[in-house]
């Protein structure tokens, strides 16, 4: 069996098993307030507080469930700005929760990019992080021999970039540190063995010349 498929299947099983626990909270008084869980999922709490909540969810199935609900409810917020036709066609391709989660992530990316061209002013989960933009169309298929990821950033002159490229099952395929140019060529060898149509996730962290730092959303590009 393909080891990648085996790992994907194993992770999916473990996630399902972990999510199958639905017990009443052992110590309800110790459960974080819903607002705290919400803010933690949004990354709006101090790291120490977020860690405390995540540690609690490791042992409290009820709060783990509450966490998942917050995630599920926050992801559609960014998906809402997708034109209906795109949402419909994408929705038909959803086969399981893993794909649905990945698609929600992709919707978030498309949503941010689409909305930046529109005159509306919706609220974005990663609005401040949208400063790094992919120069590829979302989901664009690239030949594996020319898998060149390109992006643009504000204050590009003098900026350096860290990039990480992975599959949907978190396998890191390539990465670049301190890149001077806003592009990364993923070696064909790193893509060998991936079936056509595999979705590749990539993310850019830019160090700006003035000392600022911006992160991109996660972009999705497909292997031809």
Partner 1 sequence: MVTPDTQKPSSPGTVSPFPGELDLIALRDDLKRAVAQTCPRWMSDRSEDIIQVALMRVVEIYRKREGNAEFSSFYLRKAAYSAVIDEIRRLRRRQEVPLEDENSETRYDPPADGPDPERATASREVGRAIQDCLGKLVSPRRLAVTLNLQGHSVPEVGRLMSWSTKKAENLVYRGMADLRGCLDGKGVVR
Binding site for partner 1 (CB under 8 A): 10-11, 13-26, 28, 31, 33-35, 37-38, 40-41, 43, 47, 50-51, 54-55, 57-59, 61-62, 64-74, 76-77, 80, 97, 100-101, 105, 123, 164, 166, 170, 172, 175, 201, 203, 205, 215, 218
Tally of CB atoms within 10 A around 32: 20
Least distance to partner 1 from the beta carbon of 168, Å?
8
Compute and round to an integer the Cα radius of gyration of the chain. Answer: 19
Give the residue with the Cβ less far from partner 1, 28 or 143. 28
Closest contact distance (angstroms) between CB of 216 and partner 1 is: 10
Query: How near is the Cβ of 5 to partner 1 at its closest, in Å?
Result: 15
* 123/188 with CB nearer partner 1: 123
Min. distance of Cβ 71 from partner 1 in angstroms? 7
**Residue 21 vs 188, nearer CB to partner 1:** 21
Pairing mode, strands 147-152 and 133-134: antiparallel
Half-sphere exposure of 2 (CA within 13 A, CB side): 8
CB of 143 to partner 1, least distance (A): 25
Residue 56 Cβ, how far from partner 1 at the closest point, in Å?
10
Work out whether strand 172-179 and strand 160-167 pair parallel, antiparallel, or are unpaired. antiparallel
Nearer to partner 1, 45 or 136 (CB): 45
Nearer to partner 1, 19 or 158 (CB): 19
- Of the two residues 33 and 192, which places its CB atom closer to partner 1 in the complex? 33
């Amino acid at each position: 069996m393909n080891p990648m498929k085996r790992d994907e299947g194993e992770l999916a099983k473990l996630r399902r098993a972990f999510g199958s626990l639905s017990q009443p909270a052992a110590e309800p008084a110790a459960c974080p307030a819903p607002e705290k869980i919400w803010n933690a999922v949004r990354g709006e709490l101090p790291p120490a507080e977020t860690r405390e909540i995540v540690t609690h969810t490791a042992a409290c199935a009820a709060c783990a469930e509450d966490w998942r609900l917050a995630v599920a409810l926050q992801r559609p917020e960014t998906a809402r700005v997708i034109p209906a036709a795109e949402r419909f066609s994408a929705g038909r391709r959803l086969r399981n929760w893993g794909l649905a989660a990945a698609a929600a992530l992709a919707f978030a990316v498309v949503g941010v990019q689409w909305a930046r061209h529109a005159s509306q002013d919706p609220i974005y989960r990663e609005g401040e992080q949208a400063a790094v933009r992919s120069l590829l169309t979302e989901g664009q298929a690239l030949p594996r021999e020319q898998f060149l990821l390109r992006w643009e950033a504000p204050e590009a002159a003098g900026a350096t970039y860290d990039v990480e490229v992975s599959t949907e099952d978190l396998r890191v395929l390539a990465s670049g540190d301190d890149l001077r140019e806003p592009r990364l060529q993923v070696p064909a060898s790193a893509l060998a063995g991936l079936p056509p149509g595999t979705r590749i996730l990539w993310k850019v962290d830019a160090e700006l010349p003035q000392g600022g730092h911006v992160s991109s959303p996660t972009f999705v590009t497909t292997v031809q």
